[in-house]
Structures are given as C-alpha cells and as structure tokens.
Amino acid sequence: MLVSRSDSAYHHGSLKPALEDAALDLMRTTGHTELSLREVARVAGVSHNAPYHHFGDRTALLKRLSERSMAELLDSLTRAQADLAPTDSPRAHLVAVGAAYIEYAARYPERFRIIYDPAVCVPGSPSAEMAPLIAAVEDILARVTSATIPTASRETVVALTTGVWGAVHGLAELVVAGHITLDETRPALAALLDPSADRGI
C-alpha cells in the first residue's frame, strides 16, 4: 500500500510527508535556521536516523520545505488573480497580486523566509522542482505588470516587472522582519504603483 500506515509500527508507511509536516510545524516557532533534524524525527515518532532514508541531508529537507512553500506562494498569487473579474482594471489586478504576495509572507513568515534563503536555494542552479515555480511567479508578476502599461516598450515592462517584484518582496521582508506592519504596506504599495497619485510633478 502506498499511503496508509502499516499496522506494524516498524514501517511508518508515509514518513516523508509526515516529516515535512512536522518540520513545517516546528518551523512555526523556531524558524528554519534553528530547525533540528532530530527534533523533527522525534515529533514524527521515529528514530533520529529515519529521515536520512528520505532526505539525504538536513539541507535536502529544507530545500523540500522551500519548494512546498514556494508552491503555496504561487497558489496564493494565482488565486488572488482568479478572484478578480476580468473587467476589473489592470491596476487592481496588479495591486491584488502584490497584496497577496505580502499577505502570504505575513501569514507564514518562516515559510516565506526559507524560500529566499540563499543557503537553501541557490537561484543560479535551482532544483528541478523549484525552477518552474520561480518562473511561474515571475510570469504572473510580468503579466499583471505589463497589463497596466500596454503601450510601454519592452525594456520598460521588464524593468517595471523587476521593480514590482522588488517592491512587494521588500515590503513583505520588512513586515516579516518586524519593521513595518501589514497595514502600512497597502498605502505604500498604492503610492508606489499608482502614477496618477499626487507626486508633485
């Protein structure tokens, strides 16, 4: 059987996801940096060496958690976009996706932080599972950004897409780090993205 737990306690049956879940749970209070493989095993009710048969390494577990988190973030963005009607303004789509990005970080700070930890995932050579997720997130941001500037040059679209990613990412990081609150990010994002705002020139 593939999923169900065996009667004998010796073989867990589905240890790998159980370990991941235990790790995600522990991370909520410890952060991925202090996450201990042995404690994960303890929570999962298994010996301290069992994880090594599913993840060759502590870093391999962290990489997997990072991929799962990135998939969640991507899902949040796509659902935020899907929740809006096509008749809504392109700017509303952009703001909604950006807000979803920030809200995911605020809701799951440790998961958000592990996604972008250079010690876990090196974007220069991302894992086979991570690469398409990164590309998908960039794609969503590029789509909602370019829709707000239909007449702009290609260079401007690329530059603004990077800028939008940086803006929402930075606001998210500042919230996670505790420097600003989630409530402050809404007007900040609006002020940045709305060129019709009063900027004096």
User: Which stretches of the chain bind its own copies, using CB under 8 A?
Assistant: 31, 33-34, 109, 116-119, 122-124, 134, 148-153, 155-156, 158-160, 162-174, 176-180, 184-185, 187-192, 195-201
Smallest distance from DNA to CB 165, Å: 32
* CA angle, 159 then 157 then 187, to 5°: 75
Smallest distance from DNA to CB 120, Å: 13
CA distance 191 to 91: 12
Closer by beta carbon to its own copies, 15 or else 94 = 94
Residues in 12-71 at the binding interface with DNA, rule: CB under 7 A: 12-13, 15, 35-39, 46-50, 52-54, 56-59
Residue 2: closest CA among 17, 22, 23: 17
State the binding string over 129-158 for DNA (x if CB under 7 A, else -).
------------------------------
Decide: is 8 part of the binding site for DNA (CB under 7 A). yes
Partner interacting with residue 164 (select from its own copies, DNA, none; CB below 5-8 Å by kind): its own copies
Smallest distance from DNA to CB 8, Å: 4
Per CB under 7 A, the list member of 3, 10, 124, 128 interacting with DNA is: 10
Partner interacting with residue 72 (select from its own copies, DNA, none; CB below 5-8 Å by kind): none
Contact 102, 175 (CB under 8 A): yes
CA distance 155 to 159: 6
Q: What 8-state DSSP symbol labels residue 51?
A: G
Tokens of 185: 């990010």
Residue 124: helix, strand or coil by DSSP? coil
Closer by beta carbon to its own copies, 84 or else 190 = 190
Question: DSSP of 148-160, one letter per residue?
Answer: H-TTS-HHHHHHH
Burial class (CB in 10 A: 0-12, 13-18, 19+), 32: buried
